[in-house]
Amino acid sequence: MKRWLKWLIALLVVLALALVGGRALKARKAAGAAAAAASAASAPLALELGSTDVFVARTRPLTRTLPISGGLKAVTSAVVKAKIASELKSLTVREGDAVKAGQVVGRLDTTEFEWRLKQAEQTAVSARTQLDIAKRALENNRALVAQGFISPTALETAISTEAGAAASYQAAVAMTEIARKSHADAVLIAPISGIVSQRVAQPGERVAIDAKVIEIVDLSHIELEAAVAPEDVGGVQVGQLARLNVDGLSEPATAKVVRINPSTQAGTRAVMVYLAVQPQAGLRQGLFARGTIELQRKNAIAAPVSAVHVEQARPYVLAVEAGKAAQRTVELGVRGEAPFDGRVEAAVEIVSGAAEGATLLRGSAGAVRDGTPVKLAASAIPAAPAASAASTAP
């Protein structure tokens, strides 16, 4: 065999072995990558939590509250009514106009009452004349009795006639005063200072006695009338403070319990509690308000209501421990409100089950199972204990 043919055969064998080895190495690398991908796919991903998904269990001022609701009502209000039956001649105010106590707001037609006043005055003049005649007759009869010209019986008759004339004159004077008062009642006067809330009658209408013409409310003093259940009213006391959310107002209003009705409402057996609302722009009579009365304040470890799970036999919270969510059974105390991250939220006291400084999950974290890997974002990492204590110090 020729020498060059041997070298060619050897070269082909080497190339074949190199090709087989490369394919085996590539297959081994592909198998390793697939195994790594499968391992990564089977490993659970960590749930990343933001600052709004966690909070730190600390001792906070917990306020036990009682939810209330009701309508706002002006403490002072007045209704201007027609004191006589007549035609409404003029009315100078409308809804929303401000009025002052003693201000003339309208007038009724006085034609009929002017004539009645004149009639009463003339009747009084006539009665006065008859009284003068009776007095002169009485004086003459007394002189005649003294001279013996008439009997004492005639004198007694003259005395009775003079007394009757005097009574008729007094009655005529009284009728004159009544007619004068009716004439004066034609002027409608605002009894209080405030704002016109309702205008019932219009000029030209004939109104009856005691018919409502306008209504005036004083918005400087407004109360909330809240119905409280009998089992809750025992904790309500005069002087307790309350926070109210009034429909149409962006800022909450403050109020204070000023009165408690000693009787219950028929049917519901609820007790009416009256709260004086602090003056604030935008308050109106009739607005609906919801809020809470502060019954008790104490320092306790508290958690937002949304962070406590009650779907199991005993309530529990989820704590972040060693990078996982750990379920911890807790014992709850009173409910109320507490500050969390600068906001006041509905909270509940944790008597046991969560230690001071533990990082707990809020309800915004969603449905998280026990043992789920979690990861805190940089903004959600709790501050150091010293800083935390300083931030919670009063």
Residue 374 has what pLDDT?
82
Residue 107 has what pLDDT?
95
Range name among 1-10, 34-43, 362-371 with the lowest pLDDT average? 34-43
Higher pLDDT pick, 82 / 139: 82
At 140, the pLDDT band (50, 70, 90 cuts) reads: confident
At 345, the pLDDT band (50, 70, 90 cuts) reads: confident
At 23, the pLDDT band (50, 70, 90 cuts) reads: confident
Residues in CB range of 318: below 8 A, 6 or more apart: 307, 309, 325, 326, 327, 328, 360, 361, 365, 368, 370
- Distance between CA atoms of 101 and 220, rounded to whole angstroms? 14
User: Is residue 386 scored above 50 in pLDDT?
Assistant: no
CB atoms within 10 A of CB 89: 15
Tokens at 332, concatenated: 């709850």
User: Is residue 379 scored above 90 in pLDDT?
Assistant: no
Residue 32 has what pLDDT?
65
At 145, the pLDDT band (50, 70, 90 cuts) reads: confident
Range name among 9-23, 78-92, 305-319 with the lowest pLDDT average? 9-23
Give the pLDDT confidence of 225-266 residue by residue, as tens digits.
999 998 888 889 999 999 899 998 888 899 999 999 999 988
Nearest to 78 by CA among 222, 218, 275: 218
Percentage of the chain exceeding pLDDT 70:
87
152: left (phi over 0), alpha (psi -120 to 50) or beta: alpha
Give the pLDDT confidence of 42-64 residue by residue, as tens digits.
445 777 777 778 888 888 888 88
Q: Which residue segments constitute the domains of the chain, with CATH numbers given? A: 48-63+297-392 (2.40.420.20), 68-74+218-296 (2.40.30.170), 81-195 (1.10.287.470)
Residue 343 has what pLDDT?
83
Give the pLDDT confidence of 285-318 residue by residue, as tens digits.
899 999 989 888 888 888 888 888 888 889 998 8
User: Is residue 150 scored above 80 in pLDDT?
Assistant: no
Residue 360 has what pLDDT?
87
Mean pLDDT of the chain: 84
User: Is residue 387 scored above 50 in pLDDT?
Assistant: no
Please give the DSSP secondary-structure letter assigned to residue 43.
Answer: S
At 368, the pLDDT band (50, 70, 90 cuts) reads: confident
Residue 390 has what pLDDT?
36
At 341, the pLDDT band (50, 70, 90 cuts) reads: confident
User: Is residue 348 scored above 60 in pLDDT?
Assistant: yes
Higher pLDDT pick, 291 / 24: 291
